[in-house]
Amino acid sequence: MTFLHQYPKAAKVAKANFIVAFIALAIGGLFGFIQALHRTDVFRGFFNSGEYYTLLTGHGVLLALIFTTFFIAGLFVWGVTRSLDREPENMTFTWSWFWLMTIGLIMTAVTILGGLVPDSSIRAAVLYTFYPPLQAHPAFYIGLALVIVASWMAGADWFWSYNKWRKNHPDERIPILTFMALFTMMMWYVCTIGVAVEVVGLLIPWSLGWVTEIEPLLPRTLFWYFGHAVVYFWLLPAYYVWYAILPKLSGGRLFSDAMTRIVFVIFLLLSTPVGYHHQYADPGISVGFKFYAMATTMLLLLPSLMTLFTVVASMEHGARQRGGKGYLKWIGKLPWDSPAFVGCALAGIMFAAGGFSGMINASMNINLLIHNTIWVPGHFHLTVGTAVALTFMAISYWLIPQLTGRKLKFKTLALIQPYAWFLGMTLMSNAMHRAGLAGVPRRTAEPQYSGFEFEPIFGTMAEMDWQIAIGGTILTISLILFLWVITASWMGGEKSDRPVDDYIPEPLSGAEHTPKILDNMKLWFALAIILVLLAYSFPLWEMISDGIFEPGALPRPS
Amino acid sequence: MIVFFIATVVYGFVAMDLKVIGNYETIDPQNLSDTPFGTPGVKEVTKNGATEYEVYVQTLQFAFLPGTSSPITVPADTRITFYITSPDVLHGFDVAGTNLNTMAIPGQISKFTTIFPEAREYGIVCNEYCGPAHHIMEGKIEVVPKSEFDKSNLVE
Amino acid sequence: MTENHSNSDSDSRNSSKRLVKILVIVGIGIPVLVELMTLFNLINVQIFDDEEVQEQPEPVAEVRQVTEGDTLFRDYRFPVTIELLRINVSAQEWRFELGLSVPDSVDREPLEIELDSMQLNSGKILAAGRNRSWNIQEGHTPPRIQAEWELPNGDIPGTLYISSFQQMQNDTASRVQQEVPLGNIPVRYNRE
């Protein structure tokens, strides 16, 4: 008996979400490959440099917003259903959020891809940050709004299940898989308020022409109110996997239940008031608030370091169960031949590296050296592009068999995949960081200028370009391997009652040792709101006190 | 450790004069002609008895004004204050390879002060996506020795 | 987690062990090496290269790029000046505009100017098309020579091939072609 047989309805929903996620991953990944060759001037024959920005928008939206959101929805459907031991409460409601989210995605995707059709008036080359006054087709914003609203409904679905479960289990602790999902969603509710207000309140009326002028700083600030918390919305599900599943994959069990809950509580509290650290270089926001954002950002190191210790301790425990000994020798006893384990472990290692460049980004004045340079995409390809994406891919090798009732095919290819990703990403990201230090900008089709040349600290621009292109190519190969293994297993894997070992053992230090207060969702949610108000109420008031759309700029087509 | 990181930044602020912009001053992006941005360029001012320069720059799709068609020429070893705004969309103003790096946002004025220690050329890059020709938006700053600075190109 | 459970179990276990070894060496070894090299270079530059003068790259024999105000066919009887060189961007178009002027004295002799083709930075080549040649007869004031191209969004002209039918010094007429490397074309947003 695996998940499919126990909860057939939930399995169907989860599978539907994964299918959409993987299609978005395939298209977005392809765009990424073209960009890697284009901006490094290795090959520019696919599209011209104006169309590059359409591809870039597609890459960002499809991977950062669509792939993640759908994958997370599938993952949480699996986790909540399983840990509460109940199917979704009302299938009509569950399917309606799935379809609403899909319709929103299609609207958004069509407007973006319209940019590749000559003379099309349906365009949305505004990148995934869609800063006005560059204006996209209204359907772009409406589609995004639908995705967000549908994701709220998905969260409500899980809270619904939880409330029903609570009625039957008044004294039990929230199961850890549900706890993590609900706290992630609470954080999502707090942070999406910003983008919802931005899109529904400002951008949709403006793109429809109901108002002509817009103040650029206000939507930008609202975007970043959402824009950093969203990275934790991607990251927490990866933590979800590292805490709940990775220890098992390495042969052991979670080290501490309490630690896990504390980490998720801290993320709920601190994820949102940090948004200004994307706006250190902005006029119109005072240094004091930027400083507050920096302090909260630095505090977020704490839960990440706690995660590092807890996960490594769990892995060490697993390795020792498998016969590992010594201070470091146990590392060799970890299952380095299991694709799911390898992917998660390598993703974790890369997240540590991403954390280092993240500290640079977070440091207010050091940030100015690398603000909006290619250093920044170098950083987030380590975090969201590997820590999150590689974890999601790796855990698919373990989840998809449970959802389809079929064994994984082509295990050798599946094993090569995470190693290839790690190699490709190191090459690409290393060169991106170095080029960023020389001042090479991000988000540009042709980072070559006629009036001057960049001066790298060492190495040459050409060598970095090649390193990026080669890294990007290896990543593409890795992605193709992943898609191939998953498709083949999904369609033609050997049917089995128990396609993988899906038992998850109890933590070493269980919930009985965890302070009860950590489960008090209302308390933490209220605290999170207070911290947000502290960070945002005054600057936002300053921006809107002279009129919501003032000082106004006219729209510019993208 | 966290405290150490924050302390590093504070040290940079206090001891090394590494400042971050953060003034709140709005301007109507559709009517720059009545403001100092209407005559963009390098202006001479006297502050506390010393000669300093102010540079007013407009960033537009897809040029720095001044900066693109003619370089921004300023003397070395002198305090230079940049004022930057945009009449159309978001742009970046990044002096390549340095930490002079700011956003240009319609409706807001970015202001920062610097001293260029030596005579040399710097490239300016727009580092925020501003439209389909974003990649061609570039400019130049020419820092000349103080003694060779030609004041005939100043604007009033 | 070995491949299969047939008789050759130990064989396949060995080969899978070898695969893991190779993967670890390539997949983790190379990244570690790359990062170590970066670290080494960074430290090297910080500590030892402080005084070293930046090596100036050899000035490449650069083709002078042509911009607004430059003159073509400089050595011929009728030089042609580029008056206008710009890309106009508006809601739905990306238009390259080129304006040329010829000296007024042209009315004494016939002159023919033809835009042959243009290569864009993306590599695409645009053929001449219609209305890309001007014939100036004796005794006529030169017309306004202006041409426009609708380009793919974002693309920028790199090289223009232009030819002119001119009277040579020895009173023969001949057709000369010039390859014009275009540089620094201003792109302006059209406010209309």
For residue B14, tell me if it sits in a domain.
Answer: no
pLDDT at A101 over 90: yes
Domain that holds residue B73: 23-150
Q: Higher-confidence residue: A308 or A403?
A: A403
Between CA B83 and CA B58 the distance in angstroms is 9
* Same domain flag for C12 and C90: no
First and final CA of chain C: distance in angstroms? 67
DSSP state of C132: -
Between CA A309 and CA A296 the distance in angstroms is 21
Residue A442 is a catalytic residue: yes
Question: Lowest mean pLDDT: which of A72-76, A254-258, A284-288, B110-114?
Answer: A284-288
Which of A485, A447, A509 lies closest to A22 in space, CA to CA?
A: A485
Asked if A392 contacts A71 with a C-beta cutoff of 8 angstroms, the reply is yes
Asked if A2 contacts A499 with a C-beta cutoff of 8 angstroms, the reply is yes
For residue C66, tell me if it sits in a domain.
Answer: no
Strand positions, DSSP E, B17-90: 41-47, 50-60, 63-65, 72-75, 79-85
Compute the C-alpha angle A398/A402/A403, nearest 5°: 115
Residue A232 is a catalytic residue: yes
Domain that holds residue C42: 8-56
pLDDT classification of A364: cutoffs 50, 70, 90 = confident
Average pLDDT of the residues in A318-325: 85
pLDDT reported for residue A141? 96
Query: By the CB < 8 Å criterion, does A282 face chain B?
Result: yes
Asked if B94 contacts B101 with a C-beta cutoff of 8 angstroms, the reply is yes
The residue of chain A nearest to residue B101, with distances taken between CA atoms, is A368
What does the block give as tokens for A310?
């807890």
For residue C1, tell me if it sits in a domain.
Answer: no
Of the segments A137-146, C80-89, C96-105, which one has the largest average pLDDT value? A137-146
Residues of C with CB under 8 A from a CB of A: 1-3, 16-17, 19-20, 23-24, 26-28, 30-31, 34-35, 38, 41-42, 44-45, 54, 57, 65, 91-92, 94, 120-124, 152-156, 183-184, 189
Asked if C130 contacts C142 with a C-beta cutoff of 8 angstroms, the reply is no
pLDDT reported for residue C2? 40
Contact C122 A45 (CB under 8 A): yes
* Same domain flag for C119 and C35: no
Catalytic residue among A380, A397, A422, A482: A380
pLDDT digits (tens, 9 = 90+) for C100-136: 887 766 556 677 888 888 888 777 788 766 667 777 7
Q: Three-class SS string for A394-427?
A: HHHHHHHHHHHCECCCCHHHHHHHHHHHHHHHHH
Contact B132 C186 (CB under 8 A): no
Strand positions, DSSP E, A106-260: 134-135
Contact C89 B68 (CB under 8 A): no
Query: By the CB < 8 Å criterion, does B28 face chain A?
Result: yes
Question: Lowest mean pLDDT: which of A342-356, B142-156, C13-27, C56-70?
Answer: C56-70
Asked if A269 contacts A302 with a C-beta cutoff of 8 angstroms, the reply is no
Asked if C30 contacts A423 with a C-beta cutoff of 8 angstroms, the reply is yes
Q: Higher-confidence residue: A115 or A108?
A: A108
Residue A278 is a catalytic residue: no
* Same domain flag for C115 and C162: yes
Between CA A393 and CA A479 the distance in angstroms is 9
Burial of A43 (0-12, 13-18, 19+ CB in 10 A): exposed
pLDDT reported for residue B15? 56
* Same domain flag for C35 and C89: no
Phi and psi (nearest 5°) for C174? -150, 160
Query: By the CB < 8 Å criterion, does A131 face chain B?
Result: yes
Residues of A with CB under 8 A from a CB of C: 44-45, 48-53, 118-119, 121, 335-338, 346, 353, 411-412, 415-416, 418-420, 422-423, 426-427, 430, 434, 445-446, 450, 453, 455, 457-459, 556-557
Residue-wise DSSP of B18-35: --------B--TT--TTS
Catalytic residue among A44, A86, A443, A498: A443
- A514 sits in which H/E element: none
Asked if B89 contacts B106 with a C-beta cutoff of 8 angstroms, the reply is yes
Q: Which of C1, C26, C38 sits opposite A434 (nearest CB)?
A: C38
Beta strand pairing call for C93-101 and A556-557: unpaired
pLDDT reported for residue C3? 42
The amino acid that residue A248 corresponds to is K
Beta strand pairing call for A134-135 and A556-557: parallel
C187–chain B nearest CA distance, Å: 6
Contact A444 B61 (CB under 8 A): no
Asked if A115 contacts A538 with a C-beta cutoff of 8 angstroms, the reply is no
Which of A543, A538, A545 lies closest to A219 in space, CA to CA?
A: A543
**Other beta carbons less than 10 A from residue A73's beta carbon:** 27
DSSP state of B125: E
For residue B130, tell me if it sits in a domain.
Answer: yes
DSSP state of A542: H
Query: By the CB < 8 Å criterion, does B142 face chain A?
Result: no
Contacts of C167 (CB under 8 A, 6+ apart): C77, C109, C110, C173
Q: Which of A53, A127, A216 sits opposite B105 (nearest CB)?
A: A216
Question: Lowest mean pLDDT: which of A197-201, A279-283, A405-409, B56-60?
Answer: A279-283
Between CA B57 and CA B40 the distance in angstroms is 6
Chain B positions in Cβ-Cβ contact with residue C94 (cut-off 8 Å): 132
What are the beta bridge partners of residue B49? none
Between CA A268 and CA A387 the distance in angstroms is 19
* Same domain flag for C20 and C109: no
Residue A5 is a catalytic residue: no
pLDDT at C4 over 50: no
A3-557 CATH: 1.20.210.10
**Other beta carbons less than 10 A from residue C28's beta carbon:** 18
The residue of chain A nearest to residue B28, with distances taken between CA atoms, is A551
pLDDT at A443 over 80: yes
pLDDT digits (tens, 9 = 90+) for A475-532: 999 999 999 999 999 999 999 988 988 888 888 887 788 888 888 899 999 999 998 8
Q: Three-class SS string for A270-292?
A: HCCCCHHHHCCCCCCCCHHHHHH
- Alpha helices, DSSP H only, in chain C? 9-24, 30-48
State how far the alpha carbon of A484 is from the alpha carbons of A17, A321, B89, in Å.
Answer: 18, 33, 42
- Interface partners of chain C (CB pairs < 8 Å, 3 or more) are A, B
- Interface partners of chain A (CB pairs < 8 Å, 3 or more) are B, C
Task: Report long-range pairs for A513-516 (Cβ below 8 Å, ≥24 apart).
Answer: A513/A256, A513/A257, A513/A258, A514/A173, A514/A257, A514/A258, A514/A261, A515/A258, A516/A173
Between CA C144 and CA C141 the distance in angstroms is 9
Residue C59, preceding peptide bond in cis (omega within 30° of 0): no
Contact A50 C94 (CB under 8 A): yes
Between CA A241 and CA A392 the distance in angstroms is 8
For residue B2, tell me if it sits in a domain.
Answer: no
* Same domain flag for C109 and C47: no
pLDDT reported for residue A139? 95
Domain ranges of chain A: 3-557
Q: Higher-confidence residue: C109 or A423?
A: A423
For residue C65, tell me if it sits in a domain.
Answer: no
Catalytic residue among A47, A232, A289, A397: A232
CATH code of residue C157? 2.60.40
First and final CA of chain A: distance in angstroms? 52
Which SS3 state, helix, strand or coil, does residue C65 take? coil
* Same domain flag for C121 and C42: no
Residue A137 is a catalytic residue: no
Asked if B54 contacts B81 with a C-beta cutoff of 8 angstroms, the reply is yes
Q: Which of A131, A298, A552 sits opposite B6 (nearest CB)?
A: A298
- Quote helix, strand, coil % in chain C, to nearest 5: 25, 35, 40
Contact B92 A298 (CB under 8 A): no
Chain A positions in Cβ-Cβ contact with residue B96 (cut-off 8 Å): 438-439, 452, 454
Q: Higher-confidence residue: C185 or B117?
A: B117
Phi-psi region of A213 (alpha: psi -120 to 50; beta: other; left: phi over 0): beta
Number of domains in chain C: 2
pLDDT classification of C64: cutoffs 50, 70, 90 = low
Number of domains in chain B: 1
What are the beta bridge partners of residue A274? none
DSSP state of B108: B
pLDDT at C192 over 50: no
Whether this model's ipTM surpasses 0.85 comes out as yes
Which of C89, C155, C101 lies closest to C126 in space, CA to CA?
A: C155
Size of interface A-C (CB pairs under 8 A): 95
Asked if A260 contacts A226 with a C-beta cutoff of 8 angstroms, the reply is no
pLDDT reported for residue A374? 93
What are the beta bridge partners of residue B125? B94, B138
pLDDT at A61 over 90: yes
For residue B37, tell me if it sits in a domain.
Answer: yes
What does the block give as tokens for C27?
């997949």
* Same domain flag for C37 and C120: no
* Same domain flag for C123 and C154: yes
CATH code of residue B74? 2.60.40.420
Contact B20 A446 (CB under 8 A): no
